[in-house]
Amino acid sequence: MKKHHLFIAVILVTLGLSAYGQQTEKRHAFIEKANIDSSVKPGDNFYLYVNGKWIKNTTIPPTETRIGSFLDVYNVTKEHVKGILVDVSKGGTPAGSIEQKVGDFYAAGMDSATIEKRGYDPIKPTLKEIDDLTDVKGIVAFIAKQQTKNNDILYAPYVGSDDKNSSMNILGFYQSGIGLPDRDYYFKTDAATLKIQAAYKRRLKKLFVLTGSDTITAAKNTDAIYELEKQLAGSHRTKVELRDPQSNYNKLAVADLQKQMPTFDWLTVLSTLGVKVDSVNVNQPAFYKKIDELLQATPIATWKVYLKAAIIKGASSALSSDFVNTSFEYQKALSGQQKIKPRWERMYRSTDANLGEALGQLYVKQYFTEDAKLRMKELVNNLSIAFEARINKVDWMSDSTKTKAKDKLHAFLRKIGYPEKWKDYSKVTINRNTYFENLQACSQFEFNRSINKVGKPVDKTEWDMTPPTINAYYNPSFNEIVFPAGILQFPFFDPKADDAINYGGIGLVIGHEMTHGFDDQGAQYDKEGNLSNWWSTNDSAQFVARSKKVIEQYNSFTVLDTLHVNGALTTGENMADNGGLAIAYDAFKMTKQGKGNTKIDGFTPDQRFFISFAQVWRAKQKDESLRQLVLTNPHSPENWRVLGPLSNFTPFYKAFDVKPGDKMYKPESERIKIW
């Protein structure tokens, strides 16, 4: 059962693995001067000034859709993680140990000969089960049964903390059921979207042919599925609408849901899931009403091919190469990636996704030090002090609301490196000869683990990212900021670097996650993690007015041709970028280096801070991937994550002598400041 909480605010959506402090090269300089394009004036485009030569001279590898600082860190890790996996996959480890489970999982995934020989045999029994369905009740029961195997078909149940009673877990239901990345892909008619629609349909047709259908039947099935998905998509809330936590909280009585949607049959669904509850949170009620209508109006034959497609798509990455390659051809059209990643890399990603905290335990033993954790605690403490000082100075907020804001800040749960309590995989059986069945075992484990939490107290020691992940997040229901071990590496963090580098790197990340607790979504949760209004009426109005200015500013940023940043979709991340920069800078100014003016490599401390910030977001991305990001991702493209905040930040103007006439210059009265 996958987690579908309203939002977990992250620094970057693209995830990977990383290692701390184990680079093969010794770093002597932390400002990468070779990347600086001195032909660009800092006040015209600081992003290109810092990264311009790198952008000009860098080619995106065919296995990637983007390249940059995050991928650099990820690439360092690939060899580290590969070393761990190759070592434990040799065998000879104690049965039932995490080494055995991780090693055998990876070994089974690397056994391409067996996987090729099996073809699509692993899913034939399930496809036969679908063939035997004869009525709507059977359809409903089949889907519910698949949910117990962690297959989110048609709809998406999840277990998470109750937004209005954050100490207890509740069963929720989220919108799902479509194959394209977002509802809007079904309704847009521009050339780029039509290309993706066609690629998706080709994928469906090919998958049906690979499982025995003739081309005419495969085409007919594809058309039926696409039309059904389009109807489902029409009932979906948009990405922007999904950002409203209040509208996504609909705790409804099961008895009422059963009366309103009898064909969906909530009683059968809940019984199959194995829970007895009086109420559930239906995040998007209109979507579930649409399912109920479509179950009545859509022919059984259409539902059966829809279910088959869902099963085949879900399993394709674990089947023979024909299925893998068919799915990758669609991915090429969607993201621009030209070459599939090597098998070992796909298998370590699969290992991380399915046995992440087992792999994480092996990882931190080799690639994370307690010194790093202590240094991070110091940085987090300093950022907290700086944030509190900024709250005190805010001129648009009343003292009573400031007190509550500081209470929330002080209540942040801080997690650094890895969980204090590891996930227990003792009930997961892994066999080195059956990759598909291993995936099923992990999925069943996760479902059982999740569903058993319903109605029980929340365990705030749990993590939503694995230790090697190059990312960070804020979780509003836990009121926590989380920094996995993976992100604690240059250019984000290096214990040998001067403070300007670390505060401009990981300091920005810390401040970013802290600000998420006070962005347009996070600000709706109190210090206990409950969806509760702690603002005065006037303060709330002031906050909303400033949020709208952020939306307007980012709406004006051009990405490709006529494609602009979606300010409403990216509001929270943009606020976190702006706030994180300001908080990190203030914390830096508390250090000895920040208070001084000694140059290193020809740059003042302030200049080094801002260059470090821009280095973190160095990136180059395929146009296809960039379009997808703008349409579906709450983050702005990397260049605007630098240029937007800096154009609002007066200390940057002073550090690089930005003046009227420079392209980044904004009169002080127009510089947006919230925190």
pLDDT tens readout for residues 345-363: 999 999 999 999 999 999 9
Q: Bridge-partner residues for 206, per DSSP?
A: none
Taking the C-alpha atoms of residue 369 and residue 44, their distance in angstroms, rounded to an integer, is 41
Q: Is the pLDDT of residue 1 over 50?
A: yes
Query: Are the beta carbons of 575 and 520 closer than 8 angstroms?
Result: yes
The residue-averaged pLDDT of 329-335 equals 96
Q: Residue 435 carries which side chain, given as an amino acid letter?
A: Y
Question: d(Cα 555, Cα 569) in Å, to the nearest integer?
Answer: 10
Percent share of the chain, pLDDT over 70: 96
> What confidence score (pLDDT) does residue 10 get?
79
pLDDT of residue 471: 95
Residue with tokens 């090697």: 468
Q: What length does the chain have?
A: 675
Confidence at residue 20, expressed as pLDDT on a 0 to 100 scale:
33
Mean pLDDT over residues 437-457, rounded? Answer: 98
| Residue 105: Cβ-neighbour burial (10 angstroms; 0-12, 13-18, 19+) | buried
For the chain, what is the mean pLDDT? 95
Does the structure show a pLDDT above 50 at 5?
no
Q: DSSP H helical segments within 489-604, as ranges?
A: 499-504, 506-516, 537-555, 571-588, 592-595
Contact 466, 357 (CB under 8 A): yes
Position 15 pLDDT exceeds 80: no
CB contact at 8 A, 109 and 351: yes
What is the number of H-type helices and E-type strands within the chain?
27, 12
* Global confidence as pTM: 0.95
pLDDT of residue 237: 98
Q: Give the confidence band of 8 by pLDDT, cuts at 50, 70, 90.
A: confident
Q: What is the CA radius of gyration of the chain?
A: 25
Tell me what the mean pLDDT of segment 622-627 comes to.
96
* pLDDT score at 354: 98
For residues 126 and 111, what is the distance between their CA atoms, to the nearest angstrom? 23
Q: Which of 61-75, 103-117, 299-313 is predicted with the least confidence, judged by mean pLDDT?
A: 61-75
| pLDDT tens figures, 393-438 | 999 999 999 999 999 999 999 999 999 999 999 999 999 999 999 9
* H/E segment holding residue 602: none
Reduced to 3 states (helix: H, G, I; strand: E, B; else coil), residue 502 is helix
Q: Which domains does the chain have, with CATH numbers?
A: 30-59+368-423+462-670 (3.40.390.10), 120-319 (1.10.1380.10)
Hey, how many other C-beta atoms are within 10 angstroms of the C-beta on 400? 12
